[in-house]
Structure 1
């Protein structure tokens, strides 16, 4: 069956205000002088995934609830300027927004405005069905109202992926996403036992692949009932911000997965894209392109094979 969309991205459209702070946690003070300044720009998890997929040559389409406000105008302009189709369902509460405190080492603390969504939020069923019917795959962000769309997506027969971000393995909010997806991404940040959580996701749900990203320590890949470590890739430039690294990882992984590549190679793609994202300032929304990704992944793979190869014995041969 022919499709017009490679990846339908649901949720995660919004605006971030970036505040560079002298350190994290931020010391208590009456005031702080912020340099290089404070900037508001469009781009949250779903936006970053959609932009990343598009930069890699995949046909992405983004669906979310967006307000008739300044933040919504920024989101619509971002998609228009980057050539990413956007279906914007009206959100009376306003467009999602957050404040990101970014430290000198690139770490961040995100403060999300919880008033911009509610339990009653829903995507129109007809819209979800129509877009899903035209898609090969759907990537579902864990924002409202995406959980309610999961059954519709499953009925449509598309494969699903999701990113649980810093799930602790316990919070029930994340469970519908974790158990419905074929490919699950999450961070090790809040996990007490990474492998146990990964195996529980696979045992209880539909996941064929579970990937736990661990920042500079690389990532862990569960596939075919085996957990393997995927080494991190050295960033091509100094690390300035970790915002969007997980979304870049997911986008590049999906590029390989949708092309039928080995999960280990998909994870290497993800590591390369994630490392690249850490070199992009949080005030920008640039994603790695396909040719650069493939070239860096090939270099990384060659280097790994060279390290794994046994050294030649240069000692003299005794007759």
Structure 2
């Protein structure tokens, strides 16, 4: 791997995103599941810079948050596509080049916007980001968002030593797969979808709170809205789905947009329930254009969704930090 020559980091970040860049190949299909056949004629297949880290970084920057992004990409055409997409967006992208190449995914998208993703997690288990690359920017951030790429788990000790709040997105975790556990139990704010756990989602959310350090868990349910659980709740609180501002054409990136809307509210000092409502609006907005991370809501799109905070915003994530012993 080699270091990239990049500019000095910003004086401070609102959000530092770690890991999760890549390229999505979007294949429009007539229905999901796809009927068995040797071949299917489809509409034009497109490639987009995507994946969860890219989406969170782009979405946070579009909402006016000063955003940093560190990750590995390849010295290859997909890596160039990621660089091109992030250029000029306000995201301070500070990549390292990995000889293993840029991550890929093939996403099948149905006419109703539902998708099925085939993810290429090509990073080897021994891949590590050198502390001299991430520590200078980690020390300058208010909030860290870790993608569940394997190398990112090795930043937790430094994040905790610096006393920084950290969020993560477990995506469709079933509550059982070992890969996700450390992310689930060492993060202050945990997002996941209901797709993996199904009817067990409430149990999985409670387990995250019971076994980990999280002060809030949010489960997104697509058109069904979302659920919020904190230590003060007896059961997950439903969060109503937001009405999209146009026809739903592609749900790629909706979960990432939800995270961005939530963090936008959190860093402005809003209550967690209001943050979840902002997330729902941002997620619905993302479903109204084809491709990945092509419809990014701005601050004006969230204005008036929830009341302005009554007092000045507290230091980022203060309400999410565990109570000191």
TM-score (norm 2): 0.88
The match for 1:26 among 20, 26, 34 is 34
Alpha-carbon shift at residue 298 of structure 1 (Å): 4.5
Alpha-carbon shift at residue 223 of structure 1 (Å): 1.8
The match for 2:21 among 13, 25, 29 is 13
Q: Distance in 2 between matches of 1:224 and 1:172?
A: 24
> 1:294: which partner in 2?
303
Q: Is the 8 A contact 1:16 1:98 kept in 2?
A: yes
Aligned length: 295
> 1:302: which partner in 2?
none
SS in 2 for 1:207: coil
SS in 2 for 1:127: helix
| CA offset digits 1:12-41 (Å, max 9, x no partner) | 100011110111111121221111x10111
Alignment RMSD, CA only?
A: 1.5
Please show how residues 131-210 of structure 1 align to structure 2 within 5 Å: 131-191=137-197, 192-210=199-217
| CA offset digits 1:243-265 (Å, max 9, x no partner) | 11110000110111112111111
Q: Is the 8 A contact 1:39 1:283 kept in 2?
A: no
Q: 4+ residue runs of structure 1 moved beyond 6 angstroms?
A: none
Q: Is the 8 A contact 2:288 2:295 kept in 1?
A: no
Q: Distance in 1 between matches of 2:11 and 2:277?
A: 27
SS in 2 for 1:212: strand
- Is 1:262 the counterpart of 2:268? The answer is no
The match for 1:106 among 97, 109, 113 is 113
Q: Distance in 2 between matches of 1:244 and 1:208?
A: 25
- Is 1:277 the counterpart of 2:286? The answer is yes
Q: Is the 8 A contact 2:189 2:214 kept in 1?
A: yes
SS in 2 for 1:242: coil
Contiguous gaps of at least 5 residues in structure 2? 1-9, 308-325
Seen in structure 2, the aligned counterparts of structure 1 residues 148 and 284 have a Cα distance that, compared at 3 Å, is closer
The match for 2:99 among 83, 92, 95 is 92
Q: Is the 8 A contact 1:182 1:207 kept in 2?
A: yes
Q: Distance in 2 between matches of 1:56 and 1:243?
A: 19
TM-score (norm 1): 0.89
Alpha-carbon shift at residue 156 of structure 1 (Å): 2.0
Q: Distance in 2 between matches of 1:87 and 1:200?
A: 35
> 1:77: which partner in 2?
84
| CA offset digits 1:47-79 (Å, max 9, x no partner) | 000000001000011110011000110111111
| CA offset digits 1:89-134 (Å, max 9, x no partner) | 11110001111110111111111123x2110111111222111101
- Is 1:251 the counterpart of 2:249? The answer is no
Q: Is the 8 A contact 1:43 1:285 kept in 2?
A: no
Q: Distance in 2 between matches of 1:47 and 1:270?
A: 17
SS in 2 for 1:184: strand
Q: Distance in 2 between matches of 1:241 and 1:25?
A: 16
SS in 2 for 1:16: strand
Q: Which has the higher helix share?
A: 1
Q: Is the 8 A contact 1:48 1:285 kept in 2?
A: no
Please show how residues 43-62 of structure 1 align to structure 2 within 5 Å: 43-62=50-69
